[in-house]
Amino acid sequence: MEKKTPLIGLTLEGLRRVVTDCGLPLFAAKQIARRLYVNRATSIAEMTELSKQARKRLEENYEVGLTPPLAEARSNDGTVKYLFPGVGDRNVESVYIPDGERATLCVSSQAGCKMNCSFCMTGRQGFHGNLSAADIINQILSIPESESLTNLVFMGMGEPLDNLRPVLDAIEILTAPWGMAWSPKRITVSSIGKLRELKTIVETTKVHIAISLHSPYPSERASLMPVEKGMSIKEVLALLRNYDFVHQRRLSFEYIMFRGINDDARHCRELAKLLRGFDCRVNLIRFHAIPDSDLQPCSMAQMERFRDQLNEDGITATIRASRGEDIMAACGMLAGQQKQQQPDDRQ
Ligand code: SF4
């Protein structure tokens, strides 16, 4: 049987094409969008504002397209990692992070990644394909906590700006009045900083931007993030200086701290110099050791010294709480493995 096309992941424009294709009136597109993204329909049969005949026509080639997680792993700290089908036989992961009133979902945008950052398990696997907007929206709609989500971060597997169109479509669905009507302030796109795509996302959306920095020195950054050789952080910063990050949205920089690599006073001073003039925040992130890597986490005391020095130098810096380390869900640890946690693992 031929596979049907999922309706989730389609923007209003895409749904208009669908209804035209099925010979339905254009206004049906908004009705379908409402059913998909507001009422969370799981089948076309639930779209009862459409005539029986219209639903039948839709069902010939389309389906809602929700796919539940293949597996889940629960951390002692409440974090939940979900496994979803990705591209081919490569699965992807999403991480649900409850934190008081906040409930954040970290979504994946690609199966694997081309960027090959030395500290990242996803980068280790190489690139296996881009997720569609349907795959991205499915991660949001299919988890049990979907309706209680307050925030979304594109910080899961893959480089979101390397898969721009589906990421933009997902943002449109999340923020449009005909879609989920979220404020863009609830969404953050985290990137290594692909210049052309970064410009597009800054100019066409109002989401928050987070840039992976990790070292203020080009040669050291290049050894952690090979992308530096083709697209330097200086070029990324020069681009970002053209935009308003005071009123419109938040700009942050991610800085994973590695023992003896980027964690001393010299790096701190240089980082403050590099970011001078930006209204931004630096998120200091504890490194989580990964197999076959010499990189080591630095101590919390060292991270606190680094944070305090940055704050003294006029750069707002915070230490991001590490979540889900026991289920390999923390920063840099996502690998798309199909491991279902057993009750005994949770001791
Ligand atoms: S850190 Fe991000 S950009 Fe780098 S390899 Fe991992 S997923 Fe890709």
Distance CA 96, CA 82 (A): 8
Q: Nearest 5 degrees, angle CA 318-CA 145-CA 48?
A: 140
Residue 158 DSSP code: S
> What three-state secondary structure class fits 77?
coil
Query: What is the tens place of the pLDDT at every residue in 225-261?
Result: 999 999 999 999 999 999 988 887 999 999 999 999 9
Q: Does the structure show a pLDDT above 70 at 1?
A: no
φ and ψ at residue 215, rounded to 5 degrees: -160, 140
List, in order of start, the domains of the chain with CATH numbers.
5-63 (1.10.150.530), 71-346 (3.20.20.70)
Q: How far is CA 297 from CA 1, 118, 228, 267, in A?
A: 51, 14, 22, 16
Bridge pairing between strands 281-286 and 316-320:
parallel
Candidates 192, 185, 115; CA nearest to 153 is: 185
Candidates 4, 10, 2; CA nearest to 135 is: 10
Query: What is the tens place of the pLDDT at every residue in 92-103?
Result: 999 999 999 999
Q: Nearest 5 degrees, angle CA 227-CA 195-CA 237?
A: 85
Atom of ligand 1 nearest to the CA of 162: 3
Ligand 1 pocket test target in 120, 221, 285, 293 with most atoms within 8 Å of CB: 120
Q: Does the structure show a pLDDT above 50 at 112?
A: yes
Q: What is the pTM of this model?
A: 0.94
Q: How far is the CA of 52 from the centre of ligand 1 (A)?
A: 47
Q: How far is the CA of 288 from the centre of ligand 1 (A)?
A: 14
Bridge pairing between strands 110-112 and 102-106:
unpaired
Ligand 1 site, CB within 6 A? 113, 115-117, 120, 122-123, 157-159, 192
Which amino acid, 163? N
Query: What is the tens place of the pLDDT at every residue in 22-32?
Result: 999 999 999 99
